[in-house]
Structure 1
Amino acid sequence: MKPNVYITRKLPLPVVEKIKEVCEVRMWDEEDIPVPKEVLEKEIENVDGLYCLLTESIDKELLSKANNLKVISNMAVGYNNIDVDAASGKGILVTNTPGVLTETTADLTFALMMAAGRRLVEASDYLKAGKWKTWSPMMLTGQDMYGATLGIIGLGRIGESVAKRAKGFDMDVLYYNRSRKKEAEEELGIHYRDLETLLKESDFVCVLTPYTPETENLIGKEQLALMKSSAVLVNTARGGIVNEGDLYHALKSGEIFAAGLDVFKEEPISLDHPLLTLPNVVVLPHIGSASKKTRMNMANLAADNLLQGVERKTPKHLVNKHVIEEGLSY
């Protein structure tokens, strides 16, 4: 008898067919609308595997309704949408999709740095609104990236890839991380700084650290006040790491020059959010990994994790490894 799985969003057909070879599949068939909570509560009752996205909150209450669940496969690197402790307590494996989106997200991070620093979206809107009447020496002037100082907060895979790109722009790269990475310092020619010093010295600051209780509101009023008035802040990690209210006031008052944001505390961000009223912020709908190749790789990796879990094999990308090590899984 095939194991039963539920997929919380419409996936490309080849990925679904791969899962169907092993499992009985039910799938929420709306591409752009998250599965309603009441539907997910019913579907999770008797499935062996759950394939989900960051848009689904897999909390303790939902997991209490799961009777046979063996694995939760999250199609994302982050997994703060899942109560991992609650899942572990029930012997449920939790998996993610690291590695495959590193270079794509690094590309987008660099694109946001350039777009915000050089005011590209503002300039495009300026032209489209018919405001461009003549060339002017200081019209829409922005910040140079070449030769500037880049501060990276969180030197994981993506942080290192951003640092490599920065070297092509002859940037001086600083980083702040939970622990120093001396091998990366030597290999990439980058320099460690404490957070306060990094914020003071950097022309561009990229937030690339995971979202945890320790990093929530890591960048707030005090940290923004340390930055240069010409500085650009970019966040392609997770919403909640940067305090959006404090960022709005820093941008509005000219305390910092600009910001580029791909992630927000609440997603999708409300259209009446104050940040969307500012000309010096470039906002994107969480598309850090949104290249066709990368998204297919993510979808397939999440499918592999799911299949390994329902077949009682150890998934390659297992978040809560202690469940296997301590013999807690079903």
Structure 2
Amino acid sequence: MRIAILDDYQNVALSLADWDSLNANTTVFTEYLGTDDDTICRVLEPFDVIVAMRERTPLTATRLQRLPNLRLLVSTGMRNSSIDLEAARSRNITVCGTNGSPTAAAEHTWALIMAAARRLDVELFSSAKPRAAGHPWQQTLGMGLHGKTLGIYGLGRLGSQVARLGQAFGMKVIAYSRNLTSEKAIEVGAELVGEKDLFTRSDVLSIHLKHSERTTNIIGRQQLGLMKPSSVLVNTSRSAIIERQGLIDSLHAGTPRLAAVDVFDNEPLPVNDALLSAPGVIATPHLGYVTEDQYRLFYADAVEAIKSWRDGNPVRVLG
């Protein structure tokens, strides 16, 4: 059995789970394979099993059709919109998921909120900007969060966690999504508002919608233009939810003042990407799920999934 572990950028997969127990030929890919179908299919063609790290390398119908040896596909997490489950079923490829941390993404959302509120992107001393090299002492005025309004677009599991943490900071929490009810909002201490009020009233607006055809580009220039000139937009969900050029244009226009983002249309993000040159962008390289605890769970469950499938009893089958 030949196993491919994809997109292990930190080269940690083999150290975080007992892959040796599989007695298999395991290959780790620490570099992104890119977007070219021919290259990806040529590299992955020999493998019986592929372990995919979230949505970093999409396994589309076109690609699955060109992987004749593939029999098991394990995705970290229990949802992966970049895997064509119907195409996998048609080719008798079993697709399994793993458990994951219920809190990692919410924690990173708050890391971005705090970084934006206190402008850590500007103020932080580091080896790149040491004090001794003339890095200025105090350049910005931070934003206090107590008494400010936290807006949540999508009050599901992650949005609810972010909302509760906002209350711990003394923030007023408002929320909106198409199917959100007052009862659900009250459960987490939030006020249900309309879409326009969400954008006009929020000092910090955090996006927690699931990506779908309906939510693609659901936020654009019109909504962003309603935000306060002092506001912060945070997106740790999916980049396609916010219309890309609309975000860039809105930042240049000054509303919102800052955008703290962890997700991008193209990942890894090209160094010359236009978003990075827009004013007020604080960007992290999709770190929302990248923690040691989470990776240990991902990879241990991947090993278990492979063993169970090999024994004829696959677990956490998707689709």
Bucket of the pairwise TM-score, normalised by the shorter protein:
0.7 to 0.9
Percent identical among aligned pairs is 27
1:130 and 2:131 matched? no
* C-alpha spacing 1:231/1:309, structure 2 compared with 1 (3 Å): farther
* C-alpha spacing 1:313/1:288, structure 2 compared with 1 (3 Å): same
Distance (Å, rounded) in 1 between the aligned partners of 2:265 and 2:220: 13
* Correspondence for 1:121: 121
Distance (Å, rounded) in 1 between the aligned partners of 2:120 and 2:108: 14
* Correspondence for 1:287: 287
* Correspondence for 1:6: 4
* C-alpha spacing 1:57/1:194, structure 2 compared with 1 (3 Å): same
Higher relative contact order (CA 8 A, sep 6+): 1
Consecutive unaligned residues in structure 1, runs of 5 or more: 321-330
Checking the alignment, whether the CA contact within 8 Å between 1:208 and 1:235 is kept in structure 2 is yes
* Correspondence for 1:103: 103
Checking the alignment, whether the CA contact within 8 Å between 2:22 and 2:303 is kept in structure 1 is no
Checking the alignment, whether the CA contact within 8 Å between 1:4 and 1:23 is kept in structure 2 is no
SS at match of 1:296: helix
Larger deviation, residues 108-117 vs 84-93: 84-93
- Cα offset for 1:204? 0.9
- The 5-angstrom pairing of residues 1-330 of structure 1 reads 3-8=1-6, 9=8, 11-15=12-16, 17-18=18-19, 20-22=20-22, 24-28=24-28, 30-34=29-33, 38=38, 40-42=40-42, 44-45=44-45, 47-53=47-53, 54-67=55-68, 69-76=70-77, 78-97=79-98, 100-124=100-124, 130=134, 132=136, 140-180=140-180, 184-316=184-316, 318-320=317-319
Distance (Å, rounded) in 2 between the aligned partners of 1:260 and 1:67: 42
Distance (Å, rounded) in 2 between the aligned partners of 1:145 and 1:65: 52
Checking the alignment, whether the CA contact within 8 Å between 2:117 and 2:142 is kept in structure 1 is yes
Consecutive unaligned residues in structure 2, runs of 5 or more: none
What amino acid does structure 2 have at the position aligned with 1:296?
R
What amino acid does structure 2 have at the position aligned with 1:265?
D
What amino acid does structure 2 have at the position aligned with 1:130?
G
Distance (Å, rounded) in 1 between the aligned partners of 2:312 and 2:63: 22
The TM-score with structure 2 as length reference comes to 0.84
Instruction: Provide the aligned C-alpha RMSD in A.
Output: 2.9
Distance (Å, rounded) in 2 between the aligned partners of 1:309 and 1:182: 44
- Cα offset for 1:300? 1.9
The TM-score with structure 1 as length reference comes to 0.82
- Cα offset for 1:38? 4.9
Checking the alignment, whether the CA contact within 8 Å between 1:122 and 1:279 is kept in structure 2 is no
* C-alpha spacing 1:15/1:169, structure 2 compared with 1 (3 Å): closer
Distance (Å, rounded) in 1 between the aligned partners of 2:168 and 2:229: 25
Distance (Å, rounded) in 2 between the aligned partners of 1:132 and 1:73: 48
* C-alpha spacing 1:244/1:319, structure 2 compared with 1 (3 Å): same
Distance (Å, rounded) in 2 between the aligned partners of 1:45 and 1:268: 23
* C-alpha spacing 1:224/1:166, structure 2 compared with 1 (3 Å): same
Checking the alignment, whether the CA contact within 8 Å between 2:175 and 2:185 is kept in structure 1 is no
What amino acid does structure 1 have at the position aligned with 2:254?
G
* C-alpha spacing 1:6/1:31, structure 2 compared with 1 (3 Å): closer
- Cα offset for 1:213? 1.6
Aligned residues: 310
